[in-house]
Structure 1
């Protein structure tokens, strides 16, 4: 797996580096991710984020392995509701989705669009497939979990143990996307 990768938004104003292997590489099929993408599509010059199965592609990394190099002043958060426990963060310079963060989480779910296709870590699983509308059968190339699987949570727990049970706060995202 990649030891270090340089990533960034579409225009290059926001850049970051990830170190070591990700926790997991997944597609999320939940209603919330699809609702957030619908909102992102209304932004000027937005990029298509849903794949052919209406899934958001994420690569999950421990927070201590993600380093923002420039452009943090261009990041803005979006929450589906004011009470949401998750925030999605977008580079406002070009409206590139950058990451999803769970409140008090020790990891970041980086949007797969930050990687060039050839360097995107291979897909390991699909999660929350129970939220997908009826349609064609999902491919069987990776596990298709109806909800978050036990194996998914074990990987997250293992990462948390590796971080000494810390959950770093990202305080540099100060702006909000207008509703």
Structure 2
């Protein structure tokens, strides 16, 4: 593992919105829930926070669910502005999963095949779409890993991208920049019902 203090601060300053600009569709594993996404994305990340690792382990036990955590225990996400994401089919199959009844984060799952679709923070203006929605070989390139400080030994991670112990200032600048471009709006996604695991 490289010296993340110097390397991360240097590379974080170079973070830019993704290059993807066209509309495209991604889907759950059985194809009944489709999501139209309009680029560019905000960021492509792998999250290693304890909550994502716990939720990934739980949701992976559902019948037919895809593998959510990779060999590092990370969850891949593509972050998009809410106004650039639309559930184009299967919205009635979506259910919200929370780690606890009062959790401020919900993970939205397609119950037709138990594929996690997105993660939403309460009050957030973006969705973190699960990388498993993208067909193999089409996921945009990984830019950084985040919340590696939650790992017992972050030193085991590869140094192919910055491994951020927490969310960086540059990361928050990206989110703020996206919100400014949205006119400080926060579109709502209504999901009927909760998923109890």
Question: TM-score range with shorter-chain normalisation?
Answer: over 0.9
Structure 2 residue 195 is matched with structure 1 residue 177: yes
> Number of matched residues?
178
Runs of 4+ in 1 over 3 A off after TM superposition: none
> What SS does the aligned partner of 2:137 have?
helix
Can you give the 5+ residue segments of structure 2 that lack an aligned partner in the other structure?
1-18
Out of 104, 124, 133, the residue aligned to residue 85 of structure 1 is: 104
User: Which residue number corresponds to residue 179 of structure 2?
Assistant: 160
1:16 aligned to 2:35?
yes
Is the contact between residue 46 and residue 146 of structure 2 (CA under 8 Å) also seen in structure 1?
yes
CA RMSD of aligned residues (A): 1.1
CA contact 2:57–2:68 (8 Å) conserved in 1: no
CA distance in 1, matches of 2:82, 2:71: 29
| TM-score (ref. length: structure 1) | 0.96
Question: Equivalent residue of 2:156, what SS?
Answer: coil
Counterpart of 1:46 (choices 45, 57, 65) is 65
Task: Give the TM-score normalised by structure 2.
Answer: 0.87
Q: Does 1:72 align with 2:91?
A: yes
